[in-house]
Amino acid sequence: MGDPDEVIAQRIEQLNEDVASAKERHDAEKRDRILNAYAQLTAEDTLLVAKVLRHTNGETQAEELLTSALQAVDDPEVRTAVSKLIGARNKT
């Protein structure tokens, strides 16, 4: 794994592009399913990197990564979804 912050920054940048594209190209029902899938994938990726950080660099860096990742999500609805998923799964 490369620099954890850069890995997540790239992931969130791609998420923001994908969300914008989905909002332009799909009807509401399909768009909601797509955005939910994007949120789930982003939460899983972010939590995986945070878990590695916890075991190698400590809790502080992992929490900073989670916070910065959420702040970088452009769409408020997707940000809320990712936040809820991270909160629900961040117990391990």
Query: Which has the closest alpha carbon to 73: 33, 34, 46?
Result: 46
pLDDT for res 23:
92
Instruction: Write down the pTM of the prediction.
Output: 0.88
Tell me the pLDDT tens digit for each residue of 35-80: 999 999 999 999 999 999 999 988 899 999 999 999 999 999 999 9
**The pLDDT value given to residue 88:** 85
Measured distance CA(78)–CA(36) in Å, rounded: 8
In angstroms, the CA 18 to CA 11 distance is 10
